[in-house]
Amino acid sequence: MSHASSSGRAVIYTGGTLGTWSLSLAQPGDYLIGADRGAYFLVQHGVAPDLALGDFDSVDADALARIREAAVETAEYDAVDKDWSDTELALREALKRGYRDIVIAGGLGTRFDHSLANVQLLAVAADAGASALLVDAHNEIRLLRSSARLAADDRYAYISLLPLDGEVTGVTLTGFAYPLHNATLRQGMSLGVSNLLAEPQGTISLGSGSLLVIRSRD
């Protein structure tokens, strides 16, 4: 089976907070991965995952049977004998299959430990030369290591910039209500929190470091 194209996109549905809002993330031609309960979410809504994977400890036997029947491919892992979370398994499998444009839905939720771990997975994608986006009903989170242009989006009024590790240097913002020029953002600083675009398009550039760009709404 030929799994991936370097120009394709993978959308991962995992076991955090999901809703009907997330179904519109998948577009024709996307490769759909359901991780554990995320696979069952897709099946419940009449969507067949291209790949369902995980230890499936969050679903019962009947749900797992439905997943096996609906998914094009299923990969099951032992709940004890695995080093990675189901979300990380899904991300690494997407990367292994050649996808460099990845969206993760359901990676945020009530378990803050899982949410934080999934935010840190953005660095795993970046290290592999991929672009990953972590999405829930109120946020879009991406990792930036160079520069980016952001177009105004009515869905997300606020833009926050937070270092993923250590410090980020040379941060310059143009087109923002609160511009920065060659600033340094360190962990624990709130200087980059809750900015706004003042123009139809804004630019973020940085000299070094890993910067989380969080677009959000109340």
pLDDT digits (tens, 9 = 90+) for 34-73: 999 999 999 999 999 999 999 999 999 999 999 999 999 9
Q: Same domain, yes or no, for 41 and 119?
A: yes
Asked whether the predicted pLDDT for residue 7 surpasses 90, the reply is: no
Closest to 166 in 3D by CA, of 206, 215, 131, 114: 206
- What is the share, in percent, of the chain residues with pLDDT greater than 90? 90
CA angle 23, 131, 78 (to 5 degrees): 70
Q: Same domain, yes or no, for 82 and 162?
A: no
Where do the DSSP E strands lie in the chain? 10-13, 31-35, 51-54, 74-76, 101-105, 131-135, 139-144, 147-151, 158-163, 167-174, 180-186, 201-205, 211-216
Residue 81: per-residue pLDDT: 64
Indicate whether 195 belongs to any domain: yes
Q: Do 105 and 45 contact (CB within 8 A), yes or no?
A: no
> Whole-number mean pLDDT of the chain?
93
Q: What is the pTM of this model?
A: 0.92
- Which of 137, 154, 174 terminates a domain? The answer is 137
Range of the domain at 110: 10-137
Asked whether the predicted pLDDT for residue 96 surpasses 60, the reply is: yes
β-sheet bridge partners, residue 13? 34, 105
Tokens of 122: 């953005």
Indicate whether 3 belongs to any domain: no
Asked whether the predicted pLDDT for residue 74 surpasses 70, the reply is: yes
Asked whether the predicted pLDDT for residue 205 surpasses 50, the reply is: yes
Average pLDDT of the segment spanning 163-187: 96
Indicate whether 2 belongs to any domain: no
Residue 78's pLDDT band, with cuts at 50, 70 and 90, is confident
Pairing of strands 147-151, 201-205: antiparallel
Residue 165: per-residue pLDDT: 87
Q: Do 93 and 51 contact (CB within 8 A), yes or no?
A: yes
Three-class secondary structure of residue 51 per DSSP: strand
CATH number at residue 206: 2.60.120.320
Q: Same domain, yes or no, for 17 and 124?
A: yes
Where do the DSSP E strands lie in 14-146? 31-35, 51-54, 74-76, 101-105, 131-135, 139-144
Residue 73: per-residue pLDDT: 97
Indicate whether 5 belongs to any domain: no
CA 115 to chain centre: 10
Q: Same domain, yes or no, for 115 and 156?
A: no
Average pLDDT of the segment spanning 14-26: 94
Indicate whether 99 belongs to any domain: yes
